[in-house]
Structure 1
Amino acid sequence: MAHPPAPTSEASASTSDHAGHDHGHAAGLLGERTELYFAIASGVFWLAGLLLGIFADLPESIGIGIFVAAIFFGGYYATIEAYEGVSSGRFEIDFLMIVAAAGAAALGKWEEAGLLLFLFSLGHALEHYAMARARKSISALAELAPATALLKTPDGGTSEVDVEELAIGDVVVVKPNSKIPADGVVISGNSAVDQAAITGESVPVDKIAVKNPDSTYVLADLPAEHRTFAGTINGSSVLEVRVLKPARDSTLAKLVTLVQEAETQKSPTQHLTDKFERYYVPSVLIVVGLLLLAFLVIDETFGQSFYRAMAVLVAASPCALAISTPSAVLAGIARAAQKGVLVKGGRPLEDLGSLTAIAFDKTGTLTEGKPKLTTVLPAEGVTRQELLATAVSVEELSDHPLAAAIVAGGREELGKVPASRASGLEALTARGIRAEYEGATVHIGNRRLLEEITGADIPAEINRQMTELETGGHTAMMVHRGDRYLGIISVMDVARESAKPTLAALRKLGIKRMVMLTGDNQRVANAVAKEIGITDPMGSLLPEDKVAAIQRLKDEEGRVAMIGDGVNDAPAMASSTVSVAMGAAGSDVALETADIALMADRLDNLPFAIGLSRAARRIIQQNLWISLGVVAILVPLTMLGIASLGPAVIAHEGSTMVVVVNALRLLGYRAKPALS
């Protein structure tokens, strides 16, 4: 299909059912807002009947006719949904409202029956509007992908095709200020691309072409500057992109599907309220039935007993309770998606904010995930440039990852490739490498290698510097040419720039324990932990050791989150209370395994996610207090006859609107400046 899948009717219905209302009939003669227009019409007729009854001397039959019109428009959708509920063996809120209105009309209280259904239908419509607004902020993702793409043809031209026709390996041309049609790799051109819709990044990301356009690439393994996502917006220059995923499997399509699934996932509080309602509604019906017979016991007429029973029925109907949690959950998921945080349902949304301990994978989560040249220490009488030129010339012959880091860092500092080139590279197992450079033999390696070739101990100063670097978590190597030491170079997987401020923000949020799990030795773990503020560094761990560590943390703290890349950390993430995947954009495994996915490779979105979770929990609790509080106050007052049907209607429906508006505040959630 040309676009990622739109929300399915099943998903929408399931989500709406969380609210206790299906709204499957909301689209009518007047479009999506038919229900709202009916509610307004009900209000107009009710107000007209009230004013004409006060200021005009109309026959009673005309006044009743006007209120009947108000009842018709206000009760139209509620009657349909009540019928469907009863047909399925469910006695839900709509049924209670229709019975209450019918009872009031039977007593001749046409005005109050009209008011009840007007306010109920208005609340119904506003609830529908609010939920639709929250859902639209998510489902709008489905509209981001363009319907067509400019496919590059063998003769160098282009032809316009549907994006569904694109196959892996095709090359598409992306014009300036147009949408990128597919997940892929940039093979020509450079431009700044707006990725906010996918990753939540507020600043456009610079894209450049890969050096080898004809090589085979995997989207998740590509650096950010080379990969593109369907639905993102190109900047001011033309790009050529080789397609790596078909439209149906794009990151955008998967994101839309996962968010739709998240909408249907109930939170712990929602499960609790559902269970409460299952017993509560029948109990209300039984109490109302008993109140109808009150005239047999106390000195009042059947009409008085009937009226009070209907007032209690209205007061006790749990409309606000039904919508209090799902409205907040949906608004929270929508707000998170706008920021590039995918939350898979109500449970992780609620759980994340309750944690006091978080475990982090080190490599790729707290660190950059790739080694960098960190230290260049020339020996006495040797220039920094001589040491770097020698090391770069030799290491560029090697395919070792550490060699690549030395070459990249050295060339960046030198500004150009050294004039002389090394030759005859030989790998010396567990010790280092050897090569010929400028007529002399160069050795780069550890103490064992240098002691072997010199037949002497390592010079004291060089040995001291090596020990100091190793204690700090660096991988240090000595460089020796001919008969002299040139100095020491070291590499290290350095901490992300955002790691230290992010952990500081988490401490301000009350996260007491921040644990780092890594396969690196404990010395490296301690060095990284000291630099960025980790409280519990745990090194030399195998994957099964990480799982055991998570279990211990759960025993000690009750709940723990695990932050990783969703691949090698999957077992530990599965064992945690809430699992969070880093850099999930483009990574199928990360998207599928985690409860929460940070779409951009940005650790600093974690405090936002935790803050949003806590805000959602607060709003859910507020909504529960409002909804249950109104019921707890109104039911006794109506049972004792202190509150009549009119005030019960206003208070009841007013509380429903209040909890909906309160939940919608999450759509505007912003992290506090100190935590941003």
Structure 2
Amino acid sequence: MTETVQLDLPVLLPHVPGDDDQCVDRLTSILSKSTGISDVHVVASDGDGPSQLCLHFDSSVTSVARIRSLARASGAEITDQFAHVFWDVTGVTHTRRARSVAEHLRQMDGVAEAEVTPGFVRVEFDRRATSEQDIRDALARSGVGVKARTRRISDRVASGGLDERVPEPDTAPTHVPDDAPHGVGEDDGHDHGPGEHVHGGPFGERSELIFAITSAVLWTGGFVAELAGWFNDSILTAVFIVSGFFGGYFTLREAVDGIRNRRFEIDFLMLVAAAGAAILGKWEEGALLLALFSVGNELEGYAMGRARRAIEALADLAPATAVVRRDGTEREVPVEELVVGDTVIVKPNERIAADGFVVSGTSSVNQAPLTGESIPVDKSPVDDPSIAADDPGGVRDESRLFAGTINGTGQIDLQVTRLAKDTSLSKLATMVREAETQASPTQQFTNRFERIFVPAVLLLVVVVMVVGPAFGSSWSESFYRAMAVLVAASPCALAIATPSAVLAAVARAGQVGVLVKGGGPLESLGTLNAIAFDKTGTLTEGQPRLTDVVTADGVGEDELLDAAIAVENRSDHPLAAAIVRDGSERLGRSDVASASGVESITGRGVRAVVNGRPVLIGNLRLFEESGGLDASVRASAEQLLAEGRTIMVVKHGDRFMGTLGLRDTPRPAAKKMIDDLRALGIERAIMISGDNQLVAESIAADVGLTDAWGDLMPDDKVSAIERLRDEEGKVAMVGDGVNDAPAMANATVGIAMGAAGSDVALETADVALMGDELAKLPVIVGLSRSASRIIKQNLYMSLGMVAFLIPATLFGFVGIGPAVVFHEGSTLVVVANALRLLAYRRNETIDSERRPTETVQAVGG
């Protein structure tokens, strides 16, 4: 379904004076090449208002949330006009209820997107057309309550100091804007406003459970009494009627909501079948249908709750309090009261309470709760806390700390760099929960299928009732058979087949330190067979070494290194850092001349002025565009390139000084990672790099890649991804989520490495590996493969049951009672099958994928 959204350009790019700007071109280019967006163009201002960016997108492929992330990747914002809320709610305990509520929200003016799952609501809306309060009111009319956020207060009292939980004031924000996700350590309590329990029923949120149990107990009691002959038919009929009332109470509510939304849902089919049984005087079977249906809903909700609890457990990893040192004294405070710059005391074997860096002490930290790293990481203090505080993103990994991770045997002092609501753990927990509300393509397909299938079932029922008597059946027999068909054809298992698997897989991914943003990326990753990798920092260590210094005739090594180090001292590029570090070591000193006027030349090198003369340092392309190269220098540079080195030619004034050769070594885990991916069915593994083609081929050969594409500028990487998508249909792009954002945005699935602590990576990626371990990539690919298989199994199982039951009931082999048992049984089997993903183990999947491959190779000789 194609939808159109128009956004004011000043909202997106507040510093752009008009639509004729490179920033606008960059934004439209990134968005237009993204999956699901068919057209992006600028609508010129009519004089009364700003220019507008018009987007046409397929809502079954992408979403407003995804478009927002892509726009941010190009420096844009879409938050002034379009708001985003993500709420924990009560009154939505199963998938069918969730769909009814979502449909109700989507019919509101101004709602661009609404997704509801048991326990959660996510809405994207236009502030000009509706408001957050309007959405709350609509939810209340649907019987759904929004939970209020609470804060923890630790009150150290003589009795031992118990934690109390008290609600925040009514004015506390209950929505989650994009820059303020739920904080870790926050519980969600009930909103104690009017109508607190309206959403749950007469017994609060447990009403459906109580009604279901009551219905089942009454039906069982009536059935036993009937067998024993304890009561007459009138009393037994009354018992079954009451049982049906309790079993059908909430089913009736869902059916009414569906009809209001102009949709015939499964609940409606069940009510019609139960009413039909009652019309025929078969109160026992009608009550059985409603009792089992309501009990099935509750069991389904319980099973799905297991996966949700696995997601919610992420938010409980961080401690509620922290010991902070202020003004020379130490005291325990709630983590919500920590401010940036606080010094937190982390004792041995304690969980770390905040994101920050080590200012004193050494220890090893278990980062598995956040990143999934299996081995504790040694931590040591930063060299200069003031510099680290000014640039927290530049702190080296061995000094960075994350909330929710576990300290080892040493005591360390941590300086806080993020508020509790902004920690990597908090963002991971919130994004994983939001991911649950992102419908997958298969789920969207089954939803559309049901909209056609359910009315078709109703038509079939009418046909059965009309045609039966024409072929000699009595009216009552035909009517009963039609009601049995109605039960048999209800696609309950189909409705839950995909969301249950997606929920379990997203939860399992979060447990191993991987963020998957919904069913779309999960399904795509489970079916693609090509992955592209950025080189630096992804497949390689990201810390190149200076391996060769080749001087030109008449130039000393010290002279060459002096000029190079002077310029590269002013750059933050990884190659520059290697030249400064290793070059100073070769010189035996760090005192060199200072450079001025340093200017980076994207994709080529850098220019500056040293001792009054210009210095040019860069690759061959830079000098080919700047007047050519000295023949001897070119020869030495080409020799180093042939040996797989990254080269930097140095020219000072009119004199070529020589060539520097650098090599970024592959990560030790890279080759095994590629082997594991190949075992999982990834046929093409491609490296796209800005390095020289020979360098790229050298690294590719070391790690076992199938292709190496070098000499690529940032825009060329986008074109490379487009080419791969044309060749393979689907392709994933693995990078750091920052420099590779445009290429990742154009891939079917963008995967960010080492996303912990990186807001940009978390925003732009479809899949974020919180840690920097390459081994996590086969984990998530294997998990996605397993999820895709389970989704297919569930679909086959649910559709197969319907295909079996319809003819069985149509020809009278199965009555309403057995049909209900088969129907509800298949639904529970589907959910149980999906929950197997919560126990996913990577090696099992790799082994199962590898064995068939080895068999084929053996057969082939």
Deviation at 1:408, TM superposition (A): 6.3
Are residues 1:602 and 2:773 paired?
yes
Q: Is the 8 A contact 1:200 1:339 kept in 2?
A: yes
Q: CA deviation at 1:231?
A: 2.3
Pick aligned residue for 1:178 from 350, 362, 367:
350
State the Cα deviation string for residues 402-435 of structure 1 (Å, max 9, x = none).
68547867999x9xxx9x8575658899999xxx
Question: 1:469-495: per-residue Cα shift (whole Å, max 9, x none)?
Answer: 5433235899xxxxxxxxx99642211
Partner of residue 535 from structure 1, selected from 706, 714, 721 = 706
- CA drift of 1:654 comes to 1.2
Distance 1:28 1:202, change over 3 A: farther
In 2, the alpha carbon distance for the partners of 1:36 and 1:493 equals 60
Aligned to 2:673: 502
Correspondences of 1:57-76 after superposition (within 5 Å): 57-76=230-249
**Shift in Å, 1:398:** 7.9
Q: 2 CA distance for matches of 1:6 and 1:208?
A: 38
What does 1:44-63 align with in structure 2 at a 5 Å threshold? 44-63=217-236
Please state if 1:368 is matched with 2:448: no
Other-structure match for 1:652: 823
Classify 1:30/1:408 alpha carbon distance in 2 versus 1 (closer, same or farther; 3 Å): farther
Q: Percent identity?
A: 53
Matched, 1:632 2:803: yes
The within-5 A match list for 1:496-645 is 496-645=667-816
* Greater fraction of residues in strand: 2
Q: What per-residue deviation string (whole Å, max 9, x for no partner) do you get for residues 289-345 of structure 1?
A: 343344653433332222112111101111011111111111111111111111111
**Which of 82, 89, 111 in structure 2 is aligned with 1:9?**
89
User: TM-score, normalised to structure 1's length?
Assistant: 0.83
Residue 653 of structure 1 aligns to which amino acid in structure 2? E
1:327 to 496, 500, 521: 500
**Residue of structure 1 aligned with 2:257, choices 84, 93, 97:** 84
What is the identity, as a one-letter code, of the residue corresponding to 1:181? A
1:28 and 1:163 map into 2 onto residues whose CA distance is 36
Q: 1:421 to 1:288 in 2, by over 3 A?
A: closer
Can you list the C-alpha shifts for 1:511-557, whole angstroms capped at 9, x where unaligned?
A: 22211111111121121111111221111111111111111111111
State whether residues 367 and 494 of structure 1, in contact with CA within 8 Å, keep that contact through their aligned partners in structure 2: yes
Check conservation: 2:529, 2:681, Cα contact below 8 A: yes
Structure exhibiting the larger radius of gyration computed from Cα positions? 1
Residue 315 of structure 2 aligns with an amino acid whose one-letter code is: A
The 2-side partners of 1:422 and 1:577 are apart by: 47
Q: Which has the higher helix share?
A: 1
Distance in 2 (CA, whole Å) between partners of 1:314 and 1:531 is 60
Change beyond 3 A, Cα 1:562–1:79:
same
TM-fit CA distance, 1:206: 2.1
Distance change (3 Å), C-alpha of 1:203 and 1:70: farther
Segment of structure 1 superposing worse, 612-621 or 422-431: 422-431
Alignment partner of 1:113 is 2:291: no
1:141-185: CA deviation from partner (whole Å, max 9, x where unpaired): 22223333323212x212333333322222222233333222111
Kindly provide the amino acid, as one letter, of the partner of residue 89 in structure 2. Answer: S
Amino acid at match of 2:287: G
Q: Distance in 2 between matches of 1:93 and 1:605?
A: 40
| Cα displacement string for residues 230-250 of structure 1 (whole angstroms, at most 9, x for unaligned residues) | 222223332221121222222
2:532 and 2:687 in contact (8 A); partners too? yes
Looking at structure 2, the residues matched to 81 and 562 of structure 1 have their Cα atoms a distance apart, in angstroms, of 42
Are residue 351 (structure 1) and residue 524 (structure 2) matched?
yes
SS of 1:579's partner is strand
SS class of match (1:358): strand
Assess, with a 3 A threshold, how the Cα gap between structure 1 residues 405 and 15 changes in structure 2: closer, same or farther.
farther
2:383 corresponds, among 194, 211, 217, to 211
- Pair 271,200 (structure 1): closer, same or farther in 2 beyond 3 Å: same
Is 1:672 matched with 2:843? yes
The verdict on how the C-alpha distance between 1:164 and 1:306 changes in structure 2, with shifts beyond 3 A counting, is same
Mapping of residues 169-568 of structure 1, within 5 Å: 169-215=341-387, 216-294=389-467, 297-372=470-545, 399=569, 405=578, 470-474=641-645, 491-568=662-739
In structure 1, the residue matched to 2:151 is none
Give the total of aligned pairs.
628
Higher mean C-alpha deviation, range 285-294 or range 532-541: 285-294
How far is the alpha carbon of 1:467 from its aligned partner? 7.4
Deviations 1:622-661 (A, max 9, x none): 1111111111121122222232112211111111111111
Separation in 2, partners of 1:633, 1:667 = 30
**C-alpha contact (below 8 Å) 1:395/1:404 kept by paired residues:** no
- 1:163 equivalent to 2:243? Answer no
Q: Summarize the Cα distance change of 1:306–1:475 in structure 2 as closer, same or farther, 3 Å threshold.
A: closer
Any stretches of 5+ residues in structure 2 without a counterpart? 1-84, 102-116, 119-143, 145-197, 551-556, 599-604, 608-616, 621-630, 650-658, 848-861
CA contact (8 A) 2:568 2:579 kept: no
Q: 1:402 to 1:297 in 2, by over 3 A?
A: closer
What is the rounded CA distance, in whole Å, between the counterparts of 2:542 and 2:701 in structure 1?
18
Q: How far apart are the structure 2 equivalents of 1:492 and 1:526?
A: 13
Question: What does the per-residue CA deviation read over 1:10-42, in whole Å, with 9 as the maximum and x for residues that have no partner?
Answer: 997897656779766895677765544543443
Deviation at 1:219, TM superposition (A): 3.9
Return the alpha-carbon distance in structure 1 between the equivalents of residues 533 and 687 of structure 2: 5
- The answer on whether the counterparts of 1:308 and 1:638 sit within 8 Å (CA) in structure 2 is yes
Task: Give the match for residue 483 of structure 1.
Answer: none
CA contact (8 A) 2:529 2:683 kept: yes
- Residue segments in structure 1 that go unaligned for 5+ positions in a row: 378-386, 433-444, 449-456, 479-487
Pairwise CA distance, 1:500: 0.9
For 2:829 and 2:373, locate their aligned partners in 1 and report how far apart those are by CA, in whole Å.
33
How far apart in 2 are the matches of 1:565 and 1:12?
Answer: 38
Aligned residue in 1 for 2:271? 98
The answer as to whether partners of 1:195 and 1:232 remain within 8 angstroms in 2 is yes
- Determine if the alignment matches structure 1 residue 139 to structure 2 residue 312: yes
SS in 2 for 1:53: helix
The secondary structure found in structure 2 opposite 1:202 is coil
- Aligned partners of 2:591 and 2:437: how far apart in 1? 62
Q: Deviations over 1:335-374 (max 9, x none)?
A: 1111111111111101112112111111111111122366
Amino acid at match of 2:679: K
CA distance in 1, matches of 2:606, 2:221: 94
Identify the structure with bigger relative contact order (alpha carbons < 8 Å, sequence gap 6+): 1
Q: Tell me how far apart the structure 1 counterparts of residues 844 and 831 of structure 2 sit (CA, whole Å).
A: 27
CA RMSD of aligned residues (A): 3.9
What are the superposed Cα offsets for residues 67-104 of structure 1, whole Å, 9 maximum, x if unpaired?
Answer: 33432333233233223333443321112112212221
